[in-house]
Structure 1
Amino acid sequence: MAEERDSGVFRGTEGHMAEIVERNIQALLKRRKTEEHNRTVSERISDGVTKFTGSMLFVGLHLLLFGIWVVWNLGWLGLPPFDESFVVLAMFASVEAIFLSTFVLISQNRMNIQADKRADLDLQVSLLAEHEITRLVTLVTAIAKKLDIAEAHDPEIDELARDVQPEKVMDTMEHQQARMEKDKR
């Protein structure tokens, strides 16, 4: 059993990756890199802020700064307090929360758009695969009938040989969901 590494992909009798899979991975990585490169300045800023604020460094800095603020204004350091009622601290934290939540929402909106694109691609690939499988069922059934194989006359095969209409599937799913929600009440 010869095992080798060919262009970074494990190839051998077990674990062989089809070249089409490798090509698809490369295409998806290239697409992600292009999308990353094409981000606007505001998207880059919001992603950077979101990345930093989601880090332990951010938490540590806040613990340090707020801790010093509180200790200072409680008079424990022997320094004159500048915010005895902590109103300024509360205002600072509130304004910071407003801006941080806005940056997070901007990043989430962009990620939702990307997720929608991936879901659309997944749906298109699934519909194409379903269509191809339907055609294969039709072809194999015709061959089986020509060879007079009994299973070729199974009534379920005729149903499998029909193309799925996604809009009817969606309508059925929505109808079933509405019925389940109605039954819950």
Structure 2
Amino acid sequence: MGTKRAPSGHPARLAVERERAEDLQLRVADGITRFAGSMAFVYLHAALFAVWMVFFEKSPWQTLTLIVSLEAIFLSTFVMIGQNRQAEFARRKADHDYEAQELELHHNTEVTELIHTLTREIHAAVRDGRPDGWRDGRVRG
């Protein structure tokens, strides 16, 4: 039937997402942050503030000011949580990229050394006459 595909994306991002999915508090924080960064959040608050100002409180709206200030404190906390998550992802990605680059450097060094060795052997064989395996200009088979 269908084959199960491995999740795509950077391994560091996938690891961070997996860890966050396992922690209820982080899932709640992510949900709130996602909603607070949406236009639905803006529209909802514009409507609620308008209703509050018109129907529930007369000028100078002290209770509304207190509520908005408290909400700003909490929302700024969620922004910082998001920034911490991004910083953790960036750190893990940098670590992963460093390891991948070091591995690639190691492989490239091995290939370069092999090419150098083969080149020296070819030059030595050409300098000393026909290389082993050659007879009358053709390779022995």
Among 61, 68, 92, the residue aligned to 1:86: 61
Among 143, 153, 158, the residue aligned to 2:118: 143
Structure number with greater CO (CA < 8 Å, separation at least 6) is 2
Among 88, 91, 100, the residue aligned to 1:125: 100
Tell me, yes or no, if structure 1 residue 51 matches structure 2 residue 34: yes
Among 83, 87, 96, the residue aligned to 1:112: 87
Q: TM-score, normalised by structure 2?
A: 0.71
What's the secondary structure of 2:59's corresponding residue?
A: coil
Give the aligned residue type for 2:93.
R
Distance 1:49 1:27 in 2: 25
Shift of 1:69: 2.7
Unaligned ranges ≥5, structure 1: 1-5, 9-21, 73-78, 150-185
Moved beyond 3 Å, runs of 4+: 22-34
Structure 1 equivalent of residue 135 of structure 2: none
Q: Deviations over 1:84-106 (max 9, x none)?
A: 11222222111100001102212
Shift of 1:132: 1.0
Unaligned ranges ≥5, structure 2: 125-141
8 Å CA contact 2:33–2:78 kept in 1: the answer is yes
Taking structure 1 as reference, are residues 117 and 30 closer, same or farther at Cα in structure 2, changes over 3 Å only?
A: closer
Distance 1:31 1:62 in 2: 35
Structure 2 equivalent of residue 60 of structure 1: 43
Among 96, 101, 121, the residue aligned to 2:71: 96
Name the % identity: 32
For the pair shown, the structure with the greater C-alpha radius of gyration is 2
* Length, aligned pairs only: 122
Q: TM-score, normalised by structure 1?
A: 0.55
